[in-house]
Structure 1
Amino acid sequence: MFLLYSYGCFANGHQTQMAENAPKPESGNLENSGKKTSILREETEFDQIWQGANSSFDLPFFSWGEETPWYKRWNGNMSLGIPLTETPATLPPDATSGPSNQNTTASLSLKYSILGNWFISATAYYYFDPDLQQAWNPDYTYVFGYSDWRPYTFSLLYSNYGGNRFAPEEGQKSTEFGQGTWSLGWKFPVGEPWIDWLSFTDKGAIGCQFDYNYTPEYFDLASSEYLTGQQTISLGCKYAIIGNWYVNGTAFYYLDSSQKQPWNPDYTYGFGYFDWHPGTITVQYNNYSGNRWNSSERGEDTGRFIDGSISISYSFTF
């Protein structure tokens, strides 16, 4: 099971009803009234965009003593990841990164809120079949940076899902920091009229995030060497269908197509039931394998529905 931060659903529904006894404009002022309403909506959205951008990367030192004590800023979750297939991996040892989707895993994740929306988190994994753990399947992963669930805010994250080891072999490092990925993102909601066309429920909401991703060092299959500067642009959206039920997807564009490896996806997707409240259960299906828009181009044993996995998680606080 991959530890990925799912996008918050920050659009609060899209249906707005007018009260039956609301005052109606005089016929001669209909056009002007429409213009004023349009301007008001534009100003409101502009204000939200400005507030989101202006509040991004805040360091609220003034509220440090007033916020939750440091020892209560922890939260976490325990998860069981169940693959849909147990086909042995056929990729080279340095080919990919991330927990195995061909081995049942248990994981424990902890997140510490440093200040405001600045945080650091880590996840430890246990593989039920140690023989299936590959070189790129990590003992632990970690993420840190800034992320605010509110719309129109920027985020900056570093994530490392490589083959990190608690006890590396002689001559090896516990983690290769340069093989992690830096992501600069911007969140935004999908509003009217688009939400009316895309949603099939009255309470449906869609939130999206645009990211620029940079990986300093990546493994290149063609040369069997580590190269530098892999860059992608991604657009991910989460559709909250009703309540905590959702479906999401992310599309990737490689600025240099020669940098795309067989295990690098054109898109990822998932669906399930997600509840961020502590003491709740979350059930999800996720597929991060080498999905291709053209299925004939996908690598062996990648990009199929059965190459995804199901996770069952329990969240908690201290």
Structure 2
Amino acid sequence: MTFATQASEHQTQMAKHVPKSHHPAVINSAKPIEDNTKTSESDLIWKGISSSFMLPVEQWRADIPWYKRWSASINLGYPLVDTPAVIPANSTTGPSNQNFTASLSLKYAIIGNWFISATAYHYFDKDLQQAWNPDFTYVFGYSDWRPYTFSLLYSNYGGNRFNPSDGIKHTEFSQGTWSLGWKFPITKPVIDWLSFTEDGAIGCQIDYNYTPEYFDLASVEYKNQHQTISLGCKYSIIGNWYVNATGFYYLDSSQKQPWNPDFTYGFGYFDWRPGTITVQYNNYSGNRWNSAERGPDTGRFKDGSISISYSFKF
């Protein structure tokens, strides 16, 4: 696999309304593409662009049992700190989870690279579960692991509830995020300047992210049209060991909340194949380029979390 569509909770949960794809930021996990001519590189780019969003109907004619289209993973997430944030109770978005959790994710491949997935969470300390900590999350859309392809995803990581209180919905669809992205590898000669291992590879993805409705802490009310542009890259050091980072640009800086980061980062061991174990550290908290601008209890290394997951197919 050259690119993995595991986007650290889809581009790190789109930094809580700024991508949970499935786990470290979208990006490549093998050797970069090597081409000797500009023409061949142009051909690869056009092939990736023109093949995006395809519907390979011939797959429906294949004699594949329905359950073969399912894949899954189980996960344990352990935060390095467990101090809950103080945010108004009506907020369905907030800082990253600060609770020891177990989760089960299911993904169904509809056709080609079109899919739908959902994750259910168990909080070991129910008292620490905040209004914005979901019982479940869901993602659907199109994402191809190959370079130079487009992706289009809807993801909802808000305070979704299986059994909501009176007057509360199971989910607020308008508070989910739509993301249009494009993947590309870092090729020669640039990769030779950046990599310090023979097998090193870097893949990136740029996204436009749009959230129709978001919670604004300053006014303590919901507002409309939260928009960001993000650029995430993953450096596969050797084998399945990697580091990744994603930077965010806010089209309206006044929309940035204390828990919305300028950047996110992570590292660990990631294997996309079924029957494997992945171990990661990820930090989605309110990281700031200028540390003096960080919100309380955000943007520190200890505000990240460690996760262990096991993936499998039916």
Normalised by the size of structure 1, how large is the TM-score?
Answer: 0.89
- State how far apart, in whole Å, the 2-side matches of 1:94 and 1:254 are: 24
Name the counterpart of 2:310. 314
Q: Corresponding residue for 1:9? A: 28
CA RMSD of aligned residues (A): 1.8
Q: Which moved more, 1:50-59 or 1:96-105?
A: 96-105
For residue 194 of structure 1, report the CA deviation from its aligned partner.
Answer: 1.1
Q: In 2 relative to 1, CA 11–54 (structure 1 residues): closer, same or farther, beyond 3 Å?
A: farther
Q: Deviations over 1:142-177 (max 9, x none)?
A: 000000000000000000000000000011100000
Q: Does 1:221 align with 2:238?
A: no
Distance 2:186 2:65 in 1: 36
Residues 1:230 and 2:226 aligned together = yes
- The Cα shift of 1:225 comes to 1.1
Whole-angstrom CA distance in 1 between matches of 2:49 and 2:200: 25
Q: Which residue of 2 aligns with 1:283?
A: 279
2:218 alignment partner AA: A
Task: Show the counterpart of 1:29.
Answer: none
Return the letter of the residue paired with 2:84.
P
Task: Give, in angstroms, the shift of residue 285 of structure 1.
Answer: 0.4
SS at match of 1:64: helix
1:59 alignment partner, SS class:
coil
2-structure distance, mates of 1:89, 1:201: 41
Q: CA offsets, 1:150-208, max 9 Å, x none?
A: 00000000000000000000111000000000000000000111111111101000000
Preserved contact between residue 76 and residue 316 of structure 1 (Cα < 8 Å): yes
Tell me if structure 1 keeps the 8 A contact 2:72–2:312. Answer: yes
| Partner residue in 2 for 1:303 | 299
Q: How many residues align?
A: 295
Alpha-carbon offset, residue 9 of structure 1: 1.4
1:293 equivalent in alignment to 2:310: no
SS at match of 2:222: strand
- The reply on whether 1:123 has 2:142 as its aligned counterpart is no
Q: Corresponding residue for 1:21?
A: none
The structural deviation recorded for 1:91 is 3.0
Task: Encode CA deviations 1:213-235: one digit per residue, 9 max, x unaligned.
Answer: 00000011121111110100000
Distance between the aligned counterparts of 1:125 and 1:147, measured in 2?
24
Q: AA paired with 2:155?
A: S
Moved more, 103-112 or 216-225: 216-225
Cα distance in 1 between the residues matched to 2:276 and 2:217: 42
Aligned twin of 2:139:
143
Question: What is the aligned partner in structure 2 of residue 197 from structure 1?
Answer: 193
| Identity in percent | 73
Deviation at 1:92, TM superposition (A): 3.1
C-alpha contact (below 8 Å) 2:261/2:284 kept by paired residues:
yes
Aligned AA (2:179) = S
Unaligned runs of 5+ in 2: 1-7, 10-19
Q: Report the AA paired with residue 191 of structure 2.
A: I
Task: Measure, in 2, the Cα distance between the counterparts of 1:182 and 1:215.
Answer: 6
Structure-2 residue corresponding to 1:240: 236
Aligned 8 A contact 2:32 2:186 in 1: no
CA-CA distance at 1:62 after TM superposition? 2.3
In structure 2, the CA distance between the partners of 1:41 and 1:68, relative to structure 1 (3 Å rule), is: farther
Alignment of 1:156 with 2:175, yes or no, is no
Taking the aligned partners of 2:91 and 2:43, their CA distance within structure 1 comes to: 45
Partner Cα separation in structure 2 for residue 276 and residue 244 of structure 1: 9
Over 3 Å counting, the alpha-carbon distance change for 1:46 and 1:131 in structure 2 is same
Normalising by structure 2, we get a TM-score of 0.90
2:107 counterpart of 1:107: no
Structure 1 residues 127 and 99: alpha-carbon distance in aligned structure 2, compared to 1, 3 A threshold: farther
Partner Cα separation in structure 2 for residue 133 and residue 211 of structure 1: 30
**Alignment partners' CA distance in 2, 1:153 and 1:59:** 14
Q: Counterpart of 2:180?
A: 184
For 1:71, give the aligned amino acid.
Y
Using the TM superposition, give the Cα deviation of residue 95 of structure 1 relative to its aligned residue in structure 2, in angstroms. Answer: 4.9
Could you tell me how far apart the structure 1 residues matched to 2:86 and 2:116 are?
Answer: 33
Q: Which has the higher contact order (CA 8 A, sep 6+)?
A: 2
Residue 89 of structure 2 corresponds to 93
Query: Gaps (5+ residues) in structure 1?
Result: 17-37
